[in-house]
Amino acid sequence: MNEIKIFCPATIANLSCGFDVLGLCLETIGDEMIIRKVNEKGIRITKITGADLPLETEKNVAGVAALAICKDAINRVSLDHGFEIEIHKKIKAGSGIGSSSASAAGSVFGINELLGKPFSRHELVEFAMKGEVVASGCEHADNVAPCLLGGFTLVRGYDPIDVIRIESPEELYAVVLHPHIEVKTADARAVLQPMISLKSAITQWGNVGGLIAGLYTKDYELIGRSLQDVVVEPLRKHLIPSFDEVKFTAMHHGALGAGISGAGPSIFALCKGLAVAEKVAYAMTEEYLNTGIPADIHISKINPIGVSII
């Protein structure tokens, strides 16, 4: 195999209580990438459509992630050729649904396939994280992990990286409202405080445990009760016009829970069943019309596979 075309799904990071540790993979939104083996050594980004992003390998998340996997791959396979990467963006940068992660994860997944899979999907997370640094200034895995592994993921630890994949309950749907404003991850991280109170920490880790237990036991009410964030959401919600109103509307129309998707500005809601998800999506859209800011709405099941070959 000399060329591969892949689907790189969007993701929702944090899931309210799990800043930098929790994420899920979406099914209906994602980029496409083409990666091919070429005789000339090194990594070249040859084409980007749908976004104005740098073609220079060292400045592009996909390029940096590709360099990271190739650096390690030489310990496992002979690497006497290079790779060309084409990126066809559908996920807007700065939308809060893992645009940069999709490119980083797609890049390492595609190269790994073309090399004959020397690394497991879990091992690829670390390489993809290197790409994330270009976009957000720090290595976090809560988007790249669900993008590579599918389902829900928990980053149990960063040093060393330890990611646990959790199956989604069958009837769970995600609704994502994407207002057409850009919030840079680095800016959304700059509003956070380095210290939190013990009281907030207790609330937050109780909810993380509750959410994980709810996913394993398919207890939708427990999942809903656990989608609370007393640490990050209060500091970031001001970056998103009408966040409180949209969240209230989603809950009022039957969502299990709602919050900021990743670093925002997208707002997500989790719902039990398609009928509720459609009702919630409609209500969130109607509510957002009041802001005068154009917005997209997406309804998606949880993607159990992650990045995949088309």
Q: Which residues lie near ligand HSE (CB under 6 A)?
A: 13-14, 19-20, 136, 140, 142-143, 185, 188-189, 262-263
Angle at 147 between CA 166 and CA 45, to 5 degrees: 165
CA–CA separation, 93 vs 10, rounded Å? 11
Active site residue 57: no
Nearer to ligand HSE, 235 or 274 (CB): 235
Q: Provide the minimum distance between the beta carbon of 40 and ligand HSE in the complex, in angstroms, as a whole number.
A: 33
Catalytic residue (choose from 27, 132, 233, 287)? 132
Say how far apart CA 144 and CA 21 lie, in whole Å: 11
Nearer to ligand HSE, 66 or 188 (CB): 188
Residue 4 CB, shortest distance to ligand HSE, in Å, is 26
Which of 138, 142, 100, 137 lies closest to 125 in space, CA to CA?
A: 142
d(CA 166, CA 64): 28
The number of beta carbons lying within 10 Å of the beta carbon of residue 32 is 18
Residue 113 appears among annotated catalytic residues: no
Tokens 């990050």 identify what position? 232
Residues 6+ apart with CB under 8 A from 199: none
| From 153, 185, 249, 287, active-site residue | 185
Helices 61-73 + 121-136 axis angle, to 10: 140
Smallest gap from Cβ 153 to ligand HSE, in A, equals 12
Closest distance of CB 143 from ligand HSE, Å: 5
Q: For residues 149 and 273, is the Cβ–Cβ distance under 8 A?
A: no
The span from the CA of 66 to the CA of 44, in Å, is 10
Nearer to ligand HSE, 153 or 272 (CB): 153
Considering the complex, what minimum distance in angstroms separates the CB of residue 105 from ligand HSE? Answer: 13
C-beta closer to ligand HSE: residue 166 or 239: 239
Rounded to 5 degrees, φ, ψ at 197 are -75, 160
For tokens 């088309």, the residue is 310
Q: How far is the CB of 248 from ligand HSE (least distance, A)?
A: 22
State the Cα–Cα distance between residues 88 and 253, nearest whole angstrom: 35
Instruction: Centre a 10 Å sphere on the Cβ of residue 157 and count the other Cβ atoms it contains.
Output: 11
The residue (of 35 and 144) whose beta carbon lies closer to ligand HSE is 144
Nearer to ligand HSE, 224 or 265 (CB): 265
**CB proximity list for 183: less than 8 A, separation 6 or greater:** 94, 96, 239, 240, 263, 264, 265
Active site residues: 132, 185
